[in-house]
Structure formats: C-alpha cells, structure tokens
Amino acid sequence: MTNALMASLQPELPEGMAEIDPGDTVRVHQRITEGRNERIQVFQGVVISMRGGKDPGASYTVRRTGSHGVGVERTFPLYSKNIDKVEVLRKTKVRRAQLYYLRDRQGKSARLKEKRFISV
Amino acid sequence: MKGILGRKVGMTQLFDDSGAVAPVTVIEAGPCYVTQVKAEDSDGYNAIQVGFEEVAERKLTRGQLGHLKKANVPKLRFVRELRLPSEAGHALGDVIKADVFAEGELVDVTGTSKGKGFAGGVKRHGFRGGPKTHGQSDRHRAPGSRGAGTTPGHTFPGTKGAGQMGNKRVTVQNLKVALVDAERNLIAVQGAVPGPNKGLVIIRTAAKA
C-alpha cells in the first residue's frame, strides 16, 4: 500500500492470525450466527496455502482429514470478522508455500516434521 | 443537492460488522471552498463554483489568483461548477468537507475515464469480429458492414465503429457511500469510479435516487 489513506483502512487481523504460516496445524474458531443464536464452530487442520499477502482480500486454506479418510478443505478470508480467534497448535518445517502435495498423500507420507525452536 | 471535489485514491475492500465484504473506491475529498455563487437573477441559473486542492501561487495565472482573492480562499488548483436548485445557503469562502455526505447516502460520481486511444470496434463497442478459422485472413477483428450500398449511399451518422475510446467525462450513478471521515478528508463509495488513481472526481447527490 503506497497511500497513507489506503493504509489507514487496512482491516485488523483476528486474534492469533499474525503467527500462522503454511504447514501449521491450527484451530480456527468461527462465529456462526443462526437466527438469533451465535455459536463458535472449530475447524482444525493444516494450513496448506496462504494467498494475497496483506491484501484485504487475502485468504488461507486449512485442510483436515475427515472421517473415512475424506479430505476436507476450507478457505477463510484472512481478515474475516467472523473468525473469533486462531490457535496455532504445531509449527512444521515445510519447503514450499503451497502444500498441495498433501492432497495426494495419506497416512505416513502425509506427515510433516515439527520445527525446532531456539529460545532467545 | 450537495457536491464535493476529490481525488481518486484507489480501490480496496471493506468488511462490515456482519462480516460481509464490499468493494469500495477511496476518494480523498475536500476540503473545498466556494469560490463563486451564481444566482438566477444575476447569472440566469443557480450554481456554486467550488475549488479544491491547495497549490503554489506560481502555478496559477493572475486571472485565477484575482478570482480566488475575491472569495478570500487559499490558492486552489481545480475550480468546478455545481448546478443547484437554489443558491441560498451558500456564501463566498464557505468550506465544504467530506462530511456533507453521510454513510448510506446515494451519490453520482463524475470523472474523466482512462484514455484507450483510437480503439477498434471489438474493444470499443464489443463487436464480435470475424471468424477465427475457416480460411480467414485479416478478418479476425474486422467490424463487418457499416450499412447498405448505393441506397442510401452513405454511412448513417452515429454508426458504431472504431474511434477514440475513453478520456472522456463519465458519470457513474447511484453509488452508495460506504465510509465518511471528514478529519482525514476521506469518502469511500461502493463500486468503481471513472478515471485513474489520482484523477479528479466530482461527487454529487444522486440525480435519480
């Protein structure tokens, strides 16, 4: 963003969103409004893609393996106001930005290696 | 009828409280100054002339400087006229800020569209061009017939064809004001607005709301 006016309109990131990267296992807490009731739905899986950078239209895709080994992917807008928070459960070492190869894998070959942190 | 001048900043997306997203054009609007008031009695019609964007004195001619001095306003780059049903309520030197418009109001936005140069019929009017295959040569983007032959013996005026496209005054009607911030001189309208970023735009109350 080049213009200060435009930059001032940049939406705020939901809680915990700043830390997520491709390869992370995350829990996305989504607010769902049904009539008058509001509840939180959790979607847990691996972030396999983040696109759009810091653009207001940016999004990320979370993949989880559902029952009977069926893959389920959901794409969320990065700046969505319906996301209550995002928890990062695990960070892994990955060598590409889009982990679409996970779609073709299951079981052992779909594992990702955890990142080791050096505490400063 | 209200109006303000501004510069198009660019497009972005805004989320509303329900989480829905809207495409908006951000406009740096105002502050504008009333530089002349025209009344039915003296000028034959009612209008105000408003100026926008301060500029160095050396950028203006003596005629422009003299005109602005009469209204006792800063040196302004742009001066445009807004037709009004009545000139009452406006005085020389009045300041118009972005908050003349409220969020949710409908406005018309006028600008100068991006120039595309001398464009062919396919780009300019959406002609379909000729067939791409079956032995065609040089006919792919041709406009086809411009009319009948010996009778009438000429092309009718107004027939669509190639020519200058863009770089012309365009008004987009009934855009919803999504955001107003007078402190930052900011107006955001939902939808696209003619012209390039940094282009001058005129925002007015919608004529056909």
How close B19 comes to chain A (CA, Å)? 5
Which residues on chain B are in Cβ contact (under 8 Å) with A79? 15
- B98-144: pLDDT as tens digits: 888 988 899 999 999 999 999 999 999 999 999 999 988 899 999 99
pLDDT at B17 over 60: yes
pLDDT score, position A84: 87
pLDDT at A35 over 70: yes
Q: Sorting pLDDT into bands at 50, 70 and 90, what band is A119?
A: low
- B144-179: pLDDT as tens digits: 999 999 999 999 999 999 999 999 999 999 999 988
Show which of residues 77-96 on chain A sit within 8 Å of chain B, judged by CB atoms.
77, 79-82
Which residues on chain A are in Cβ contact (under 8 Å) with B10? 3, 6
The residue to which tokens 């396919």 are assigned: B122
Amino acid at B5: L
- Mean per-residue pLDDT, A41-50: 93
pLDDT score, position B204: 92
pLDDT at A9 over 80: no
pLDDT score, position A1: 44
- B43-84: pLDDT as tens digits: 888 888 999 988 888 999 999 898 888 888 888 899 999 888
Which residues on chain B are in Cβ contact (under 8 Å) with A9? 12, 14, 26, 179, 188
Closest CA in chain B for residue A83: B19
Closest CA in chain B for residue A8: B184
- B181-191: pLDDT as tens digits: 888 888 999 99
CA distances from A45 to A40, A42, B169 (A): 16, 10, 52
pLDDT score, position A118: 61
pLDDT score, position A120: 54
CA-nearest of B107, B106, B103 to B178 is B103
pLDDT at A83 over 80: yes
pLDDT at A14 over 80: no
How close A62 comes to chain B (CA, Å)? 19
Burial level of A47, CB count in 10 A (0-12/13-18/19+)?
buried
**CA distance linking residue B55 with residue B68, whole number of Å:** 12
Q: Does B31 sit behind a cis peptide bond, omega within 30 degrees of 0 on the bond before it? A: yes
**CA distance linking residue B178 with residue A66, whole number of Å:** 41
Q: Per the structure block, which two tokens stand in for B172?
A: 């987009």
pLDDT at B42 over 90: no
pLDDT score, position A69: 85
ipTM above 0.85, yes or no: no
Residue B43's φ and ψ, nearest 5 degrees, are -120, -10
- Structure pTM? 0.80
pLDDT score, position B7: 92
